[in-house]
Amino acid sequence: MFTDRSDAVADERPHRGYGVTVTPGQRGPCALVTGYGPGNRLLSWRDGALRDVASPAVADEGRHAIGVVAADLDADGREELYVHNTDEFDGRTRDTDLLLDPVECSPDRKGARWRDLYGLGVNADRGNFRSGRSVAALDRYGTGRYGVFVASYGAPSRFYELGDDGELTDMSAAVGLEVDACARSLFAGPVVSERMDLFVGVERGPNRLFRNGSGHFEEVAGDVGLDDAEADARGVAMADDALACGTWEGPNRIFEPVEDGTFVDVAPPEFTEPTRVRTLVCADFDNDGREELFVHGLGAENRLFRLTPEGEWDPLDPGPAREPRGLGTGASVADFDGDGTLELLLVHGELAAQPLSLYAAENDGDWLRIRPTTQYGAPARGAAVTLETDEWTRTRVVCAGSGYLCQMEPVAHFGLGELTPERVTVRWPDGREATMERPAERAEHEVPHPMAPRF
């Protein structure tokens, strides 16, 4: 299915990396790829290629970055970048985390000035020295001001919120987000409520699912059938209306909701078959109106599945993206070059450094891209975007953290094939909605929050 576009990654040097997130730049999306020892990379599409524009503050060379997420923590309309550093497998670490606040932004963020909020005096004794994995953004009240959940491994997890003076506070106990387990993967978004819930994939124990009850959370994984206690969780992604969960050398799941509010596993045998899953990515890569589910593995062939009109997941040949010798870690999707087709960016480096890979599916299908924004103009991560066409209705959640260690671009991308878009409805995490009739296809539409100021 995919064609190899890795020659569009300007820096071909092997890189020992893990997570990747995509955040808006002034000329298109920027991807921050973490570096485990080598510096982080900040990739921007310039002159026909993805080029590293990381400043020394962003590169942060010498530390051990793994999970990463972008979100607007201070409600200034620009996303901060939270990078989780861990130089130990579990327990305590010598590295603390990095929270980059863009003080000034220039085109493509090249030459941007950043400050590390962990370096402020008010946070002198608040470093996060707990080993962990994934990071996710969570707007628990729907105010447009996000917190960051860090999935710790062998230590209690943390949920940070940012004060007006730059002070970071762990709110996990106060809001009901306490997890003391081998937490691996995260998905933040509407799972069992209409607000932002939090799914935590756990190794060596049951998964957790925290239902959002107006800003405070209740753990309900066992009640709804998502605990899956025998699995060693890795990647997780929303696939159609189901939650796809990969495991390490165990049965993989696709949990689909049923009428009584619980979930049942509907994964076909080809997906269930154990492999060494790292990251899951779900997107419509070929713009035919049906999602594909990509399974990124470590030392195992990558896999690809397509959603059929009957709601089943059939295996596909991923072509060169199979990467049988790939040491896969993270992955993300974005339309880096602005042509309406998503690119798949793969990161490697669990056991040894390997170059980044870039893939895309050649197609001529129509498409539609919806970019909801918050009250402050930042990406509205966690918003649900529903598209009605003349044949089907589908919903995408703007990514706040999923895959494994990663985060996708903050856009709801819909392939259309030859269908006609009739209506788009955006539902923000605070419950407010906006509708767009007959949106123009082959275009990206920004949809501001209903409470955003009008000028």
Banded pLDDT at 307 (limits 50, 70, 90): very high
- Residue listed under structure tokens 């909020």: 117
99-133 burial: b if 16+ Cβ within 10 Å, else e: bbbbeebeebbbebebebbbebeebeeeebebbbb
Rounded Cα gap, residues 427 and 433, in angstroms: 4
| 364: Cβ contacts below 8 Å, ≥ 6 apart | none
Which helix (H) or strand (E) segment holds residue 188: the answer is strand 180-189
For 334-366, the pLDDT digits (tens) are 999 999 999 999 999 998 999 999 999 999 999
- Residue listed under structure tokens 């690119």: 343
DSSP letters of 1-46? --EE-GGGBS--S-B----EEEEEETTEEEEEE--BSSPPEEEEEE
List, in sequence order, every residue forming a beta bridge with 197; answer none if it has no partner.
189
Banded pLDDT at 163 (limits 50, 70, 90): very high
DSSP 298: B
Rounded Cα gap, residues 349 and 336, in angstroms: 23
Banded pLDDT at 455 (limits 50, 70, 90): low
pLDDT of 301 above 90: yes
Rounded Cα gap, residues 158 and 186, in angstroms: 13
Residue 316: Cβ-neighbour burial (10 angstroms; 0-12, 13-18, 19+): middle
For 363-401, the pLDDT digits (tens) are 999 999 999 999 999 999 999 999 999 999 999 999 999
Distances in Å between the Cα of 410 and the Cα atoms of 76, 309, 374 are 17, 26, 12
Q: Provide the token pair at 166.
A: 């730059």
* CATH code for the domain defined by 2-373: 2.130.10.10
| 453: Cβ contacts below 8 Å, ≥ 6 apart | none
Pair 346, 331: CB distance under 8 Å: yes
Rounded Cα gap, residues 175 and 149, in angstroms: 12
pLDDT of 312 above 50: yes
pLDDT of 221 above 70: yes
> How many degrees, rounded to 5, is the angle at CA 379 between CA 255 and CA 383?
35
Rounded Cα gap, residues 415 and 74, in angstroms: 33
The pLDDT of residue 342 is 98
For residue 366, the Cα-to-chain-centroid distance in whole angstroms is 24
Mean per-residue pLDDT, 243-267: 97
How far the first Cα of the chain sits from its last, in Å, is 45
The pLDDT of residue 423 is 98
pLDDT above 70 covers what percent of the chain?
98
- Residue listed under structure tokens 């000035």: 113
Select from 138, 141, 137, 145 the least CA-distant residue to 164: 145
Q: Is the dihedral of CA 200, 206, 209, 210 positive or negative?
A: negative
For 88-138, the pLDDT digits (tens) are 999 999 999 999 999 865 544 445 689 999 999 999 999 999 999 999 999
Q: Provide the token pair at 262.
A: 């619980």
